[in-house]
């Protein structure tokens, strides 16, 4: 199935949605990414995550531009310049280069928008938010194990203390 077929299946509530297939189709699809006034990829920030806006075709981009004009009358009417970028390049190269949590918002302003958040299985693990959370939890868990080991420890000789003096390990 094509990317749009995979998106449609999710919106239709298909019994067996295939997130892996959806991500695979996005990776293989060339999408249009509008440029901002400085020539960079157009993004919006929401709750600490930057979202690169991408569109499946020019009509989807035009709908987005029209929506922007309606919701922000100060937005100048202009032709939107864009780059055609393979989805895999956005996920594997562009997002890691941003240096901040970044995902892709596909066809925002359209009938079937789709979000590709910065999580494992979508973006490289090095920039995936859930991988960072898992690593932080591992550190906390490892520290908890170290603390527990010290709490259960038997009295030890304190270095530099008088012969025979002991102290208990503390957490």
Task: Give the tens place of pLDDT for each residue, 73-85.
Answer: 665 556 789 999 9
DSSP state of 171: -
Q: Which of 1-15, 41-55, 107-121 is the least confident region?
A: 1-15
Whole-number pLDDT of residue 158: 36
CA atoms of 100 and 43, how far apart (whole Å): 12
Whole-number pLDDT of residue 76: 56
Contact at 8 Å (CB) between 76 and 63? no
> For 30-46, what is the mean pLDDT?
93
> pLDDT over 90 for what percent of the chain?
54
Among 2, 1, 11, smallest CA distance to 114 is for 11
> How does residue 117 score in pLDDT terms, banded at 50, 70 and 90?
very high
């Amino acid at each position: 199935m094509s990317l749009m077929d995979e998106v449609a299946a999710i919106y239709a509530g298909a019994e067996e949605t295939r997130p892996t297939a959806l991500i695979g189709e996005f990776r293989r699809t060339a999408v249009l990414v509008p440029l901002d006034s400085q020539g960079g990829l157009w993004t919006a920030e929401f709750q600490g995550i930057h979202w690169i806006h991408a569109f499946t075709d020019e009509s989807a981009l035009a709908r987005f531009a029209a929506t922007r004009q309606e919701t922000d009358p100060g937005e100048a009417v202009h032709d939107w310049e864009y780059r055609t970028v393979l989805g895999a390049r956005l996920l594997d190269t562009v997002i890691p280069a941003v240096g901040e949590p970044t995902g892709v918002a596909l066809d925002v302003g359209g009938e079937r928008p789709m979000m590709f958040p910065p999580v494992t299985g979508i973006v490289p693990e090095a920039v995936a938010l859930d991988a960072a959370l898992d690593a932080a939890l591992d550190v906390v868990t490892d520290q908890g194990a170290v603390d527990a080991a010290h709490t259960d420890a038997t009295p030890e000789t304190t270095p530099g203390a008088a012969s025979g003096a002991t102290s208990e390990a503390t957490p």
